[in-house]
Amino acid sequence: MSRTRATDPRQTKAISVTDEPAYISEFRGAMLARGLSTHTRNAYVRDLIRCETLSPKPLTRWTDSDVLACLGELSRTDMTARTQARILSSLRQFFLWQVSTDKREDNPCEGIKTPKLGRDIPKDLSEADVEALLSAPDTSTALGLRDKAMLEVLYACGLRVSELINLSMEQVNLNAGWLQITGKGNKTRLVPLGEYSRDALENYLTYGRGDLVAHLKAGNCQAVFLTAQGGFMTRQNFWYAIKKYAKIAGIDEALSPHTLRHAFATHLLNHGADLRSVQMLLGHSDLSTTQIYTHVATARLQALHEEHHPRG
């Protein structure tokens, strides 16, 4: 693990492609001008490069037959329908850009249907498992106080892991009990902390973070949750931490930081929250994205009915 200290939030780097075609470089620039994130731009480029390896023709000369042949080849490699759909979307965006810049007259993806997708149900984590996970960190240490606060905030606020690890001191208002979160598309939302996460965060800021700053001389770093080196955390840092605490808590299922975001939404719905409120708290731009959690809640209720009802 790197011993360097990041005093600014970790940023995703644009991928480098050897002998990248000029049209892909131009497409990169167009995506950047549209304000797409580095993560999204990288995904598009990876997909386009992958498609090019499946055909002797450059993308600029592809027809609908070439697109269909590419999807067929991807299907034969056992690639999931969801991944095929994503790659088709990348091709669509590339050809739409070509048409909009008068580099070609047609979009060869226009008449091609997206592969039919099944609905992925998020992993369900019981409230008892969440309680065990939140109790796992050793709060007698500064890093334990930090990890306790991170888990409590993640579950109480339903944050994306990037929103959690990049949280800065200016985004926290303990007196009011709110976090000001900047999510996807640079959209800002206010998220209430709740009593338990507020207490855990206050304990960490009072008794844990100050020790890390003083010991590591990281006073110039505005990260709320400091690493042992005194900088902003990476996604991997926290991913390893949550795996460790899941093991301590006796949770056998594979967990990720996103599992607690799913649990946040599902448990709110289980306790009577309305879908629109959950959408706002999660920072979803589309209500249909949030509706997946109603399936989780319904499945949970059905399982409880089957287990406990005398005629289940």
- In this predicted model, what pLDDT tens digit does every residue of 215-269 receive, in sequence order? 555 457 788 998 887 778 888 888 899 999 999 999 888 888 888 888 888 888 7
Burial letters 192-226, b for 16+ CB under 10 A, else e: ebeeebbebbebbbeebbeebbeebebeebbbbbb
Residues 231, 219: Cα–Cα separation, whole Å: 10
Interatomic CA distance for residues 159 and 261, integer angstroms: 6
Q: Give 269's contacts (C-beta < 8 A, 6+ positions apart).
A: 275, 278, 293, 294, 296, 297
Instruction: Identify the architecture of domain 1-115 in CATH.
Output: Orthogonal Bundle (1.10)
Bigger pLDDT: 289 or 78? 78
Distance CA 10, CA 23 (A): 29
Contact 162, 154 (CB under 8 A): no
DSSP type of residue 204? I
pLDDT by residue (tens digit) across 25-65?
999 999 988 888 888 888 899 999 999 888 889 999 999 99
In whole angstroms, give the CA distance from residue 244 to residue 242.
5
Amino acid at 192: P
Q: pTM here? A: 0.62
Closest to 291 measured CA to CA, from 122, 67, 68, 87? 122
Those residues whose C-beta lies under 8 Å from the C-beta of residue 169, and which sit 6 or more positions away, are 222, 223, 224
Please give the pLDDT value at position 30: 92
Contact indicator for 292, 122 with CB cutoff of 8 Å? yes
Please tell me whether residue 56 adopts helix, strand or coil conformation.
coil
Tell me the pLDDT tens digit for each residue of 145-202: 999 999 999 988 888 888 899 899 999 999 988 888 887 777 788 888 889 999 999 9
Looking at 44, 155, 204, 293, which residue is catalytic? 293
Q: Are 44 and 95 in contact (CB under 8 A)?
A: no
- Strand order, beta sheet including 172-173: 172-173, 178-182, 188-192
pLDDT of the residue at 272: 77
Answer whether 153's CB lies under 8 Å from 196's CB.
Answer: no
Catalytic residue among 104, 184, 243, 300: 184
pLDDT tens by residue, 97-130: 999 999 999 999 988 888 765 555 456 688 899 9
Q: Given 28, 41, 198, 261, which residue is catalytic? A: 261
**Tokens standing for residue 128:** 């008892």
What's the maximum distance between 2 C-alpha atoms anywhere in the chain?
68
Is the confidence at residue 285, as pLDDT, over 80?
Answer: no
20 pLDDT higher than 70: yes
The question of whether 258 is a catalytic residue gets the answer: yes
Rounded distance between C-alpha atoms, residue 215 and residue 201, angstroms:
20
Q: Is 215 a catalytic residue?
A: no
Mean pLDDT of the chain: 81
Question: Can 119 be counted among the known catalytic residues?
Answer: no
Closest C-alpha to 154, from 267, 23, 35, 46: 267
Residue 58 dihedral angles phi and psi, to the nearest 5°: -65, 155
pLDDT of residue 215: 57
Cβ(225)–Cβ(210) below 8 Å = no
pLDDT attached to residue 1: 40
pLDDT at 171: 92
- What CATH architecture does domain 127-308 belong to? Orthogonal Bundle (1.10)
Domain boundaries, given as residue ranges, for the chain: 1-115, 127-308
| Residue 284 is a catalytic residue | yes
Which amino acid, 262? Answer: H
Catalytic one of 50, 92, 235, 284 = 284
Six-digit token pair at 40?
């999204």
Token pair recorded at residue 25: 């470089």
pLDDT of residue 291: 57
Per-residue pLDDT at 14: 66
Count CB atoms within 10 A of the CB of residue 17.
Answer: 14
Active-site residue (options: 41, 146, 148, 160): 160
The first and second tokens of residue 78, run together, are 């056992």
